[in-house]
Structure 1
Amino acid sequence: MPFAPFVGVNHHGQSILLGAGLISSEDTSTFVWLFRAWLECMDGRAPKAIITDQDRAMKSAIAVVFPHTRHRYCLWHIMRKLPEKLGSHSTFNAGLKIAIQNALYDSQTCGEFEEKWGQFIKKYDLGENAWLQGLYNERSFWVPVYLKGVFWASMSTTQRSESMNAFFDGFVHSGTMLKEFVDQFDNALRKKVELETTADFNSSNQTIPCSSAFRIEKQFQSVYTNAKFKEVQREVWGMILCNCILISKEGCISTYDVLDEITTDDDHVKSIKYIVYFNNEEVDVKCTCALFEMRGIVCRHALNVCQMNKIHALPEKYVLDRWRKDLKRRYTMVKSSYDDL
């Protein structure tokens, strides 16, 4: 009987279980029932975004039950299929694979992606490839540049869901009876709560030192959980690799080109240009990398521009309650069967 978990992310970046179901099949009607049952448990509050694999039945059910939810496919699953689908091509390891990756990861706009996609399709004579054509037709579901305006809480794959399944493997197995499953399910949830409670305690009682004299880093140190402050620090460290150039200024709006050195998985270093728009009057900063919009962490490119403009503190809108360590989460107040254990 398939186990279907709903997995989210807490303020420490840890995977948390938002619900789960045992389903008898994996067709559209079953997923519609599952999603509606979960939605009822959530008081009718649908998720703003959801990540799945390319399951057609699930896609149809999401369109029915969550019509306003932004749905994306797991990018990792798609990229994992590249060797299987295109590995036999004579130039797969001699340019084709890199061309696909460049189109996906380096495109700053949808138009740029479509141009790069068209170029490698033509160059490598892949116009008749049905798999690539299908992916292109559904590009808004998986290509990063089409998903930039949505908050994903650092998630781009279903691996959190798969890791949650692996987590439960320590408590249940294929021979577990239903009654025992319910008991073990509670034990697993209690373990997750313990991990979050420990992280809460550490964030409240252990302070990670700032790595620089940059006052904006200090601003986040005082309010973010340790895990999220470390993400901020990675962006602060990354500022040293950025070269910021003022391109134009119209009134209070300045436009900057920021060249960033990116290290790929094979240790190749390449320069990527991002555009940052800065409003000096409102201290409003926006980067084409869209890290803040997607992950809620101000990017190194925006921080670089703020430093150039001698900004010592960001407006509150850039300090997300989502990552704060001083707020009590409502779900921790929900009574559970293990509360008295």
Structure 2
Amino acid sequence: MMARQERDPDYFFKYLVDKDGHLKGLFWSDTQSRLDYEAFGDVVVFDSTYRTNKYNMPFVPFVGLNHHRSTVIFGCGIISHETNEAYEWMLRTFSEAMSQKHPISVITDGDLAMQRAIRVVWPDSYHMLCVWHIQQNIVLHLHDDEVREEFRSFIYDSSSIEEHERKWIEFLQRNEVTSEESWLHQMYQMRKLWCAPYLVGRCFLGLSSNQRSESLNSMLHTHLEGKMTLFDMLEHYERCLSGRRLNEAILDIVALQSIPFTDADASSLEKHAARVFTPCMFQLVRWSINAVSKCVISEILDAWELTTYVVAKIDRREKKFEVRCEMKEGSLYRISCSCRKLECLGTPCSHIFYILGIRQVEVLPRCCVPMRWTMSAKSAFPPTRKSEMYDYLASLVRYRELRNLSHAACFRACQSSEEYQRLKMILSEQDGSKESSRGQEECIRFGPVLPQTTEIDCGDLEKVLDPVHVQGRGAPKKRLQAKMKKQRSKRKCGYCGVEGHDRRTCNKLKEQTASYNSLYKAIGKMDAAAEPQESDVVLVAKWPNRLYPMVAM
């Protein structure tokens, strides 16, 4: 990392050691990641449930959404213990790398130490618990389907806070929950982090879980082994990072060279939205535009330079929204809606599009087009799209430039015999001696070799020892979340109960079936006219899952 910082002064890393010199905390972020945070750092998602190294230290990636709604990586950290102090150090270091810019909102799992650290370091940031983790805990702690569905309603039902509190008390009374140590009581204490009424109007960009971080962890985990060192893990992380940035570059090229298709009779607003938003975001905006046909105005309130429209859906007239249009010097200056979609997702809602159409506005106001969803989101930044774990040699750069120049010169020289002879003489003189060392021959044969490391002066640096293996909480799993899942039991035969086969291949069942078939054939040879009398003893032949009456002989 220090060699990387020598080549890239904006590369940031910081580490923490214990009293014996063992590494217990590490955070790093390259130049491009820091620039990405400057453009897209309004919502940060991170998760610490993966342990992808031989020291069992949690790997914590900080990710977000870019202008294509793709995962963008802001930085990564590794800590030895999941304590308040460790997470506080991690968040403070992250803020230091990002010039003390705090995110607007944060999405994490339900780790209590992480929650306390966020309240201390980022007190003004909104915090939401990952809905996916909550759903996993619902299955683990609630065993009745009706109770589960009723609990899920508290996650998504955006009623008033008073209504939520009333429903929650009734919910506990119906299910006779009185213990303060129960999981439901613990979730109630954290209700401001997951209940919809407390999260209404807050900017989370449509994210409700840390699946962005989960998917990155999963991708990293695909080719990682539990015995990998931190250096091996960092190399693999850089390869994944390069792939992410390559995908972003491809999406940028598509967005710059094309415009999403719109119908010939599309409105001016829709055509303008197709030009300013990225293609991915335009698909979401188009959904709101198509929903305009279901809107209707129920009331208009005029005031000085302020007009309020009360809008409702045709099929839900009882639910109304207020669209406020602020005027400045006779033109529309700002527009907002009480549904708060523009503030939460960063895209205009159908109510706003409906009012803009009523007012015959042909161009979206600037307040309706957040820069983070446009191609201008990174216009002020250098077009760096790759990880620079290995820098090219200066000789390789010069070689490429000369090769490009020589192609054009050779093409022109071959048109004339005089020019051909002159260029050939120049190249022969420049080539010099044909004898070269073995190392130079290998370089010509296999191409330039990229440097794997750079020598730096380590005389004044403190010696950092390998981390101490961390004993994780609970069972020793590679991933902490896996402790919620039971180990799949081996398949057993439903007839004999022996492992290794099922009813279709059970030899014991086949033998039993053959004996019954021979018995039925013997019975079939009996006189069909003979009927059993009431005094006859009736035997019962046992067949798997059935009872067949038999006539006594």
Q: TM-score, normalised by structure 1?
A: 0.84
Q: Rate the CA distance shift 1:292–1:135 in 2: closer, same or farther, 3 A.
A: same
Alpha carbons 1:186, 1:337 under 8 Å: kept: yes
Residue 271 of structure 1, CA deviation: 9.0
Q: Determine which of 196, 207, 213 is the counterpart of 2:248.
A: 196
Q: RMSD of aligned C-alpha atoms?
A: 2.8
> Percent identity of the aligned residues?
27
Q: Counterpart in 1 of 2:137?
A: 81
After the TM superposition, which of the residue ranges 182-191 and 128-137 deviates more from structure 2? Answer: 128-137
Q: Measure the CA separation in 2 of the matches of 1:331 and 1:22.
A: 29
Instruction: State the one-letter code of the partner of 1:245.
Output: I
Q: 1:317, CA displacement in angstroms?
A: 1.3
**Residues of 2 paired with 1:317 and 1:200: CA distance?**
23
| Alpha-carbon distance, 1:11 to partner | 0.8
Which amino acid is 1:304 matched to? Y
Q: 1:157 aligns with which of 202, 209, 220?
A: 209
Amino acid at match of 1:43: S
Q: How does 1:1-341 map to 2 (within 5 A)?
A: 1-88=57-144, 92-93=145-146, 96-122=147-173, 124-126=174-176, 128=178, 130-211=182-263, 213-240=266-293, 242-251=294-303, 252-259=306-313, 273-279=319-325, 281=327, 282=332, 284-326=334-376, 327-328=378-379, 330=381, 332-333=383-384, 336-338=388-390, 340=392
Does the 8 A contact of 2:273 with 2:364 survive in 1? no
State the Cα deviation string for residues 266-292 of structure 1 (Å, max 9, x = none): xxxx99835132326346443333221
Separation in 2, partners of 1:312, 1:275: 23
For residue 58 of structure 1, give the secondary structure of its aligned residue in structure 2.
Answer: helix
2:375 is paired with a residue whose SS is: coil
Q: Is the 8 A contact 1:28 1:61 kept in 2?
A: yes
The one-letter code of the counterpart of 1:107 is S
The answer on whether the counterparts of 1:244 and 1:305 sit within 8 Å (CA) in structure 2 is: no
The change in CA–CA distance for 1:180 and 1:99 in structure 2 (over 3 A counts) is closer
Deviation at 1:87, TM superposition (A): 2.6
Distance 1:3 1:220 in 2: 39
Deviation at 1:138, TM superposition (A): 2.2
Shift of 1:214: 2.4
One-letter code aligned to 2:118 = I
Pair 1:187–1:329, CA change in 2 (3 A): farther
After alignment, is 96-105 or 153-162 more displaced?
96-105
Aligned-residue offset at 1:222:
0.8
Displacement of 1:180: 2.0
User: 8 Å contact 1:149–1:293 — kept in the other structure?
Assistant: yes
Residues 2-21 of structure 1: CA deviation (Å, up to 9, x unaligned): 11111111111111111111
Q: Classify the secondary structure of the residue corresponding to 2:324.
A: strand
| 8 A contact 1:274–1:289 mirrored in 2 | no
Deviates more, 1:203-212 or 1:313-322: 203-212
| Partners of 2:310 and 2:321 within 8 A in 1 | yes
SS in structure 2 at match of 1:4: strand
Q: Does the 8 Å CA contact 1:108/1:274 hold for their aligned counterparts?
A: no
Distance in 1 (alpha carbons) for counterparts of 2:153 and 2:333: 32
CA separation of 1:133/1:275 partners in 2, compared to 1, >3 Å: closer, same or farther? farther
- CA deviation vs aligned residue, 1:40-78 (integer Å, no higher than 9, x gap): 221222222211111101111112222222221112222
CA distance in structure 2 between the partners assigned to 1:118 and 1:218 by the alignment: 50
Measured against aligned partners, the alpha-carbon deviations of 1:177-229 in whole angstroms (never above 9, x if no partner) come to 22222222221111111011011011111221125622222222111111111
Pairwise CA distance, 1:111: 3.7
Separation (CA, whole Å) in 1 of partners of 2:142 and 2:191: 18
In 1, the alpha carbon distance for the partners of 2:158 and 2:314 equals 14
1:175 is paired with a residue of what secondary structure?
A: coil
Query: How far did residue 321 of structure 1 move?
Result: 0.6
Q: Which deviates further from its counterpart, 209-218 or 55-64? A: 209-218
Three-state SS of the structure 2 residue aligned to 1:128 is coil
Matched to 1:61, the amino acid is A
Pair member with larger Rg:
2
Aligned partners of 2:105 and 2:204 also within 8 Å: yes
> Structure 2 length normalisation: TM-score?
0.54
> SS at the partner of 1:307?
helix
CA contact (8 A) 1:75 1:142 kept: yes
Could you tell me which amino acid in structure 2 is paired with residue 287 of structure 1? C
Give 1:71's aligned amino acid: H
Could you tell me which amino acid in structure 1 is paired with residue 362 of structure 2? H
Per-residue CA shift, 1:97-147, capped at 9, x if unaligned?
Answer: 55444444342543443344445445x345536433332332221123322
Q: Quick one: distance in 2 between partners of 1:234 and 1:151?
A: 20
Of the structure 1 ranges 316-325 and 138-147, higher mean CA displacement relative to structure 2 is found in 138-147
Q: How far apart in 2 are the matches of 1:26 and 1:47? A: 22
Q: Relative to structure 1, is the Cα distance of residues 144 and 331 closer, same or farther in structure 2, using a 3 angstrom cutoff?
A: farther
* Alignment CA distance shift 1:220-1:250 (3 Å): same
Instruction: Give the letter aligned to residue 239 of structure 2.
Output: N
Q: How many Å separate the matches in 2 of 1:100 and 1:307?
A: 40
Q: Distance in 1 between matches of 2:81 and 2:159?
A: 40
